[in-house]
Structure 1
């Protein structure tokens, strides 16, 4: 049997938080032959992965350092000088270093063991023993190896018989057939499940979106869009969809829906408030659509000013009544009570004479 260079991968697969410390695969006092099992230790106080990997007198003094929070540091793959002189049935006298993996747990032996550290200790042993094809009888405490020979008492505060029982149970759990992972939830179905206002499907299944990888599903009162790369799923109501169509849906400058739609009321919060339209944010702008009226997108510099400085539809300018259009060297968009324009010098507002009939450009 070669050095256990599989330690980090196996422990990680077992569900542990693992740190591979330094060039651990190349560190040790010679190569392993047959590995009998594990010797469990405590450090006697605060310690670190570096201290275990580079002990000033011993060099590598265990293959694994287990921090108090349950993080497992793999610090060596070769033989470590951790056991010293001693004896245990099945291991040649004074030869445990050559046939066992040492685990040093950061603990003074009397402070008790947190749940995080204790169960990480159990799982670490279980994973290693399963890989070795050994039972929990192949975990011993340093005190069981070197108590008589060296007066060792680590790991302090751990009943080794209970410890081995917990390891055996964890070994069985790890070996048990795992339930197959659940298939990923269909996000369009998930959103539809709490959006009854969409009504029934008008077409079975889902359809690929254009230009952007995703799916769209059609319903009586709107669509649901799913964008694959960010796993974002947003419904779009029919009132917004009729305007979205004017801009070539997701293939146009608006892109995919970014936020859920908002219903806009004439007197927000008032008992007699009436819904007068919808607004919805998209990747390339927003659509504002009054009920019974055309509806338009606002975007870019004009959209930023209208929304952030002019108060959007609740401000003096009111709702948009045109798309952006070229007017000489400037871009203009008309609103109910004025216009916004921008040129290379920035955006500016054009007030409208309320006594004059206004006909939007191109209409």
Structure 2
């Protein structure tokens, strides 16, 4: 059905071009792949301002959100334009790296280092301390990673506009960060309640924003995105194994995330959903498997994504082509 819509769009635009600017004639209409490629170039080669502003949103999902780096690698290699980025929890860590301009290859290589262990003082001793002495772990390593690896101490230093969300544990209020120091904001966004100590920032006590906003499409919209692609980790909490305190906490977080995602996914223009529900949120040895699942899901969805963005962009394409044709007369 979507291919038929592309052909109809191409036919309509082709009629405009034949009258206005014959030099831009389209490929034969029976060749769907060529049509999509031609129109795709028309969208992606246009400077920002002459096409829709495109936002990439990365959901929460703890370690499983590392699949987002695989999704990003496919989008980058396809030349998919990304103008603004928003993320929550581990999606905020990866989103800050993408907004800094980090190439997908480097992000994929670093994925095992920025998982649960890389973000905290996670270890056997610290988990025992958490279990027996009510002494939460620290996520301070996340802020240090942002400051040292990204070398972008403030939101204003990033190459793309970026936003992340956290929650005030005292009020339940969603807190959105779009400016100021980057490290504390990203740290707060991924600060799992019950595992990490709340981040104290400007008289607030902040924890993981995924508790209130699992897919922060609203943050991308506030940054100016007209079209939002959301990478969302799938959550199947019915298959969870309640073998430990961490498994139980994971189940609670998954249920909350799934309930939020039901409505929030409707706010995005397009979804890519890596199948990662069978991997636990602290299974750090499977980091590269998560990246691979992101790649598989994004490659499968890429043609549909390209066609959807073409259809979304066609009013602007038509206006530009008509204007260009008139100038050439």
> What TM-score, normalized by structure 1, do the two folds share?
0.22
Which of the two has greater helix per residue? 2
> What TM-score, normalized by structure 2, do the two folds share?
0.24
Higher RCO (C-alpha 8 Å, min separation 6): 2
- The structure having more radius of gyration, on CA atoms, is 1
